[in-house]
């Protein structure tokens, strides 16, 4: 068994280091990683322990390119990530029946395809007015194909969505109560990503790639400038989306305790589907993290497990070998379709015992058994992050 990480990926063109044993990664994901490493613009690839098959680029991959970026390697949920905050509450403060807490959160934050009836007032959710205005002032500069989506994007800001997105109330090892949530740039991010991915596929320099889903934009071109503008806008939208949701959940928690004062520490926020300009191996690079968080020295991070297995609060150790990166979560070990065929609602109830959450077939593809073991994922990256706290869910809200 491999215990010393990283290990090099066999057959890779550009240097590709992995924090997972090659024999445990599905062959299709290994093929994706080799295809990524073969792109002529790639400086290097790093592979996190939660690695699994994705569209175009593998989830759990970090790609450094000095003069190019692949929109599919970012993913369609631009800026997807985590937010969390420790509260002054303790386990003994929570009611024995947590259905009321879950209901208040679900009333405060629209889930699934639902949205707010009108945009949230920024003053109500602790967002500086100028930051809010700056985001919406620049909407008119986005791709012209989304110009009729401004109203929808405004009402979706501060909403959860579906799939693997969640809001949780958790307890750490000292029984302190935490709020944690996972979401991204909603439909506006998806539309922007899909438009740019389609545009990249048609560019002449991408015609002979091993996988057209890995089509890139090259620095100094109008297509690259347009993508970077929309990309960074969507990343800001995603971060703001989580900030608004966190404020709404904090309000819901306060309401659950009536007149009692509930305090909150400094929140943690981190993207895990995004691009950043960073220095790698002494050179300025565009670093794409798809299913990976930044783990520079001292960087706070959140690495969630599945809806019944716990999560981690971490601090980055600044590993140059990993391109200052770490895993974004447990990572799937089976597809959504396979999970639905493998498990039933009885399995879901058993695997989420003790967690106040949905236990119907509508979330069966999110069953803990469909995910890798979060403790093993954390163990594999002990040189990348240090554990600050381990959390266990007591409430989980999903769309």
- Selecting among 43, 52, 196, 328, the annotated active-site residue is 328
For 60, 65, 69, the CA distances from 29, given in Å and listed in that order, are 10, 20, 20
- Helix ranges (DSSP H) in the chain: 27-37, 71-74, 99-108, 129-137, 150-156, 186-201, 222-256, 336-342, 345-351, 374-380
Q: What is d(CA 152, CA 110) in angstroms, rounded to the nearest whole number?
A: 13
Instruction: Retrieve residue 166's tokens.
Output: 């969640």
Q: Which residue has the tokens 């692949």?
A: 70
Instruction: Retrieve residue 372's tokens.
Output: 């890798």
For 125, 156, 397, the CA distances from 107, given in Å and listed in that order, are 15, 15, 11
Instruction: Retrieve residue 381's tokens.
Output: 């990256």
Could you list the residues known to form a binding site, using ranges: 77, 164-168, 182, 272-273, 304-307, 311, 328-331, 398
Could you list the residues known to form a binding site for GMP, using ranges: 164-168, 272-273, 304-307, 311, 328-331, 398
215 closest CA partner among 203, 232, 230, 228: 203
230 within 8 A of 196, measured Cβ to Cβ: yes
**Is residue 116 flagged as an active site residue?**
no
Q: What is d(CA 254, CA 238) in angstroms, rounded to the nearest whole number?
A: 24
329 within 8 A of 314, measured Cβ to Cβ: no
Burial class of 4 by CB neighbour count within 10 A (0 to 12, 13 to 18, 19+): exposed
| SS (HEC) of 58-88 | CEEEEEEECCEECHHHHCCCCCCEEEEEEEE
User: Strand 311-316 to strand 81-90: parallel, antiparallel, or no bridges (unpaired)?
Assistant: unpaired
DSSP state of 119: P
Instruction: Retrieve residue 299's tokens.
Output: 């960087």
Query: Which residues carry out catalysis?
Result: 328
């Amino acid at each position: 068994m491999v215990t010393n990480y990283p290990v090099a990926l066999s057959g890779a063109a550009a240097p590709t280091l992995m924090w997972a044993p090659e024999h445990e990664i599905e062959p299709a994901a290994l093929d994706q990683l080799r295809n990524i490493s073969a792109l002529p613009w790639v400086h290097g690839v790093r592979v996190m322990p939660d690695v699994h098959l994705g569209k175009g680029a593998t989830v759990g991959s970090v790609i450094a390119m000095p003069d190019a970026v692949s929109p599919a390697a970012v993913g369609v949920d631009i800026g997807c990530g985590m937010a969390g905050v420790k509260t002054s509450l303790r386990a003994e403060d929570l009611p024995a029946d947590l259905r009321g807490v879950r209901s208040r959160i679900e009333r405060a934050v629209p889930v699934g395809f639902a949205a707010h009836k009108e945009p949230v007032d920024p003053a109500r959710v602790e967002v500086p007015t100028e930051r809010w205005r700056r985001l919406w002032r620049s909407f008119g500069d986005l791709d012209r194909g989304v110009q009729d989506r401004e109203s929808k994007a405004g009402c979706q800001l501060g909403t959860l969505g579906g799939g693997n997105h969640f809001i949780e109330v958790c307890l750490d090892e000292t029984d302190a109560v935490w709020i944690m949530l996972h979401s991204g740039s909603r439909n506006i991010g998806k539309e922007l990503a899909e438009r740019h991915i389609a545009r990249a596929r048609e560019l002449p320099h991408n015609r002979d790639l091993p996988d057209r889903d890995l089509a890139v934009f090259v620095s100094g071109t109008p297509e690259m400038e347009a993508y970077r503008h929309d990309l960074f806008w969507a990343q800001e939208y995603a971060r703001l989306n989580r900030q608004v949701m966190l404020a709404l959940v904090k309000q819901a928690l306060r309401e659950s305790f009536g007149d009692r004062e509930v305090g909150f520490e400094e929140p943690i926020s981190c993207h895990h589907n995004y691009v950043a300009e960073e220095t790698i191996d002494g050179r300025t690079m565009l670093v794409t993290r798809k299913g990976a968080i930044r783990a520079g020295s001292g960087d706070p991070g959140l690495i969630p497990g599945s809806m019944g297995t716990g999560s981690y609060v971490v601090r980055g150790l600044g590993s140059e070998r990993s391109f200052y990166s770490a895993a974004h979560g447990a990572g799937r070990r089976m597809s959504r379709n396979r999970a639905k065929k493998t498990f039933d609602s009885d399995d879901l109830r058993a695997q989420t015992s003790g967690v106040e959450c949905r236990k119907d077939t509508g979330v069966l593809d999110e069953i803990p058994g469909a995910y890798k073991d979060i403790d093993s994922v954390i163990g594999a990256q002990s040189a990348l992050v240090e554990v600050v706290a381990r959390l266990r869910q007591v409430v989980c809200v999903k769309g």
